[in-house]
Amino acid sequence: MSGIIVEIPWGKEKEVYTTTFGNREPILGQWGMTPDGRVFRWAFSGGAIAAGQSVQSAAAVAADDMDLAVAAAAAVGATTISITTVGAISANYYRDGYAYGNDGAGEGQVYGIRSHPAASAATTLVLTLHETVREALDTATSLVGLVRNRYMDVVTYPGNTGITGTFLGICPVEVTNDDYFWVQQLGPCAWLDDSASAGVVGDGVEPSQSTDGAMHLHDVSGETDQPPAGYLGAIAAVATDYGFVDLTSLR
C-alpha cells in the first residue's frame, strides 16, 4: 500500500477484508485506482453499508476536538506528544488521525498519529507520531485537538436521521461492521436514488437529506452547503432504483 496511488486490479475494488492486506498496515485514506481510472479511498467500516449507498465519516468526539492540555513538554524532533485526556479514550482510537495545535506554543501545526494506548479520563495519554514535532510544545500555553481519520469507522450517510460527519463517497460492495474496503470517490458508479424530484442525464446530484445512503438532485438554492458529488450518467434514476452516476467530487 505504499506510494501515492495504489493500483486496484479489476474486481478488487469490490472485495472486503477483516484484516489488512497480508497483515501490512496501510494508512486509512490511501488512494487507489482501477485500470479505467475510477478512484477510491481505503476505509474501515463502523457498521453495515449496502452497495451503491453513500458513506459518511464517523462523528467527532466533542470532548477531544480542541483545548486538550499538553501534559509534558515536547521539543523539536520529538516523536511523541503527551496530552491530558478529558474522557476515556480506547487504544488506537485516533490511529492514522491527527493532533493539531489549536492555541499557544505550536499552534497551527498538524501531526499524523501513528498509535497510542488506552487511557482513562483525566490522565496522561502519549501519542506516537508518524513524524517529528516541528515547533516545541509546552505545558503552560500549548493546547491540542485530536481528530479521527475520516476513513475510520465510516457508516451509511444518515440523510434521514441527522448528518453527523462528512460525505466520503459511495460503497461499491456490501460490507459489514469492522471491514476494510474501498470507498469510491471518482468515476462511474451506481447510487441509490430517493427521487424527491425528477432528474435527467447531466443533472448534478448530492447526498439525500431524506433517505439514508441515497442521492437526490443538487440543491442550487442560496442555502446549499455542499458542491455536487457527481452527475447523472447514461441512465436517469427513478424512485428506489439505482442510478448511474459519474462521481466528480474527491474528498
Q: What is the pLDDT of residues 56-98, one digit of tens each?
A: 998 888 889 999 999 999 999 999 999 999 999 999 999 999 9
Provide the percentage of residues in the chain whose pLDDT is more than 90: 71
Q: Which class for 36: exposed (0-12), middle (13-18), buried (19 or more C-beta within 10 A)? A: exposed
Identity of the residue numbered 95: R
**Average of per-residue pLDDT values in the chain:** 90
Q: What is the pLDDT of residues 99-156, one digit of tens each?
A: 999 999 999 999 999 999 999 999 999 999 999 999 999 999 999 999 999 999 999 9
| Strand ranges inside the chain, DSSP E | 5-7, 31-33, 39-44, 54-56, 68-72, 80-84, 98-103, 110-115, 124-129, 143-147, 155-156, 167-170, 180-192, 204-207, 215-217, 230-232, 242-247
- Please give the grid coordinates belonging to residue 6: 495504489
